[in-house]
Amino acid sequence: MSGEGPAGRARPARDPEIVLGVETSCDETAVAVVEGGRTIRSSIVSSQVDLHARYGGVVPEIAGRAHLERIVPAAREALREAGLDDRGMPLAASGPGRGIGAVAATVGPGLAGALLVGISFAKALALAWQVPFVGVNHLEGHLYASLLEDPGIELPAVVLLVSGGHTILVEMDGPGSYEVLGETVDDAAGEAFDKVARFLGLGYPGGPAIERAAREGDASSIAFPRPMLGEGLDFSFSGLKTAVVTYVGKHPEVSSADVAASFQAAVVDVLVAKLLDAAGTSRARSVCLAGGVAANGPLREAVAAACAAAGLGVYLPSRSMCTDNAAMIASAGHHLLGRRGPTPMDAGAEPSMRFPAG
């Protein structure tokens, strides 16, 4: 409800439908403003790739310190772009407009020191603005990237969540209602991309580096194994990484482009086959991709083609929504706030948080 200002003019109110999201679980400092869980009013992502590249991977302490330096500028930018001031209220003094009514932040899984920065910042804003704080599971957040961009998505959907730390097949009936159908028994798909890229000297982050190198290579030149294909809905990628290392050890003259293309083809084959198996054996009406690896071009093309052949609806979030961002956290926060209410202010970071059971 609008209050009365000193001069009797109606003050704009805060609206719980307008959520500020904060994401600092790994190496992106991200802040976004999302309305109604769907409409992105701003989404700022400050990548730390430049800081970590020379080490070949994310250095936790550097990540935490960089989040601390970048979080306030990122938040200011997100607020301005959404037409809001530093109090999260509409910039224009007159006219209609509503302010931020809740603050959501990733509470896990992720790097402890990195998570603490975002959680502390979000709680401080929630206290200062007197609005609810909502803690979001980062993995659950990734699922909302699809819903955020395509409200018309047909549920239940089978979502393949493929990120740097996780590879999970989830049946999603609706916000908050999930069933895990399969997951990796060892390395995540993104982790395999990162490790193989590092081994080949292609740089960090590994996924985009492999995808680039693979464009110059022949995907059928090396027959790498397709681990656990035809063996249920769980995944395994650590043996595939070992197969790459062994092959290159025996054939030192092989081109990195051929190895990258053949490795990528093996990962894509396994991911697509299991995603389609999961969709075929569940009640799913559509299929979605989520997580950083979902930005991979050959994976997107293969999923789209397989779903078209199987007559399944498919939704592929834009690449920037696949990789870490805060819009998905704000969107998840909106749904969670409606279903479960605010998160207690003494909630901590949960670096090893698991995917939430439905």
Site residues, Zn ion (CB under 5 A): 163, 324
Exposed e or buried b for every residue in 175-197, given b needs 16+ CB within 10 A?
Answer: beebebbbbbebbbbbbbbbbbb
Q: Which is nearer to ligand KG4, 90 or 317 (CB)?
A: 317
> Which of the listed partners (ligand KG4, Zn ion, none) does 149 bind, with a CB threshold of 5 to 8 Å by partner kind?
none
> Which of the listed partners (ligand KG4, Zn ion, none) does 37 bind, with a CB threshold of 5 to 8 Å by partner kind?
none
Please state the closest distance from residue 173 (CB atom) to Zn ion, in A.
22
Please state the closest distance from residue 329 (CB atom) to ligand KG4, in A.
11
What proportions of the chain, in percent to the nearest 5, are helix, strand and coil?
A: 45, 20, 35
Which parts of this chain interact with ligand KG4 (CB under 6 A)? 26, 163-165, 190, 193-194, 205-208, 211, 291-293, 295-296, 323-324
**Do residues 170 and 161 make contact, with C-beta atoms less than 8 angstroms apart?**
yes
Please state the closest distance from residue 302 (CB atom) to ligand KG4, in A.
12
> Which of the listed partners (ligand KG4, Zn ion, none) does 206 bind, with a CB threshold of 5 to 8 Å by partner kind?
ligand KG4
Q: How far is CA 322 from CA 60, 280, 288, in A?
A: 22, 24, 11
Q: How far is CA 153 from CA 234, 297, 317, 331, in A?
A: 25, 21, 11, 15
Q: Can you name the residues that pair with 81 across neighbouring β-strands? A: none
Q: Which is nearer to Zn ion, 171 or 324 (CB)?
A: 324
Residue 195, SS3? helix
> Which of the listed partners (Zn ion, ligand KG4, none) does 171 bind, with a CB threshold of 5 to 8 Å by partner kind?
none
> Which of the listed partners (Zn ion, ligand KG4, none) does 27 bind, with a CB threshold of 5 to 8 Å by partner kind?
none
Structure tokens at 269: 């084959």
Exposed e or buried b for every residue in 10-21, given b needs 16+ CB within 10 A?
Answer: eebebbbbbbbb
Please state the closest distance from residue 47 (CB atom) to ligand KG4, in A.
10
Please state the closest distance from residue 101 (CB atom) to ligand KG4, in A.
27
> Which of the listed partners (Zn ion, ligand KG4, none) does 286 bind, with a CB threshold of 5 to 8 Å by partner kind?
none
Residue 206, SS3? helix
Q: Which is nearer to ligand KG4, 135 or 164 (CB)?
A: 164
- Dihedral angle computed from the Cα positions of residues 333, 337, 340 and 341, in that order, rounded to the nearest 10 degrees: 130
Tell the burial category of 296 from Cβ atoms under 10 Å away from its Cβ (0-12, 13-18, 19+): buried
Sign of dihedral through CA atoms 115, 118, 122, 123?
A: positive
> Which of the listed partners (ligand KG4, Zn ion, none) does 117 bind, with a CB threshold of 5 to 8 Å by partner kind?
none
Q: Which is nearer to ligand KG4, 132 or 206 (CB)?
A: 206
Q: Which is nearer to ligand KG4, 21 or 292 (CB)?
A: 292
Q: Which is nearer to Zn ion, 101 or 206 (CB)?
A: 206
- Rg over CA atoms, the chain: 21
> Which of the listed partners (ligand KG4, Zn ion, none) does 208 bind, with a CB threshold of 5 to 8 Å by partner kind?
ligand KG4
Please state the closest distance from residue 176 (CB atom) to ligand KG4, in A.
20
Q: Count CA within 13 A, CB hemisphere, residue 52.
A: 23
Q: Which is nearer to Zn ion, 141 or 217 (CB)?
A: 141
Q: Which is nearer to ligand KG4, 131 or 268 (CB)?
A: 268
Please state the closest distance from residue 110 (CB atom) to Zn ion, in A.
8
Please state the closest distance from residue 163 (CB atom) to Zn ion, in A.
4
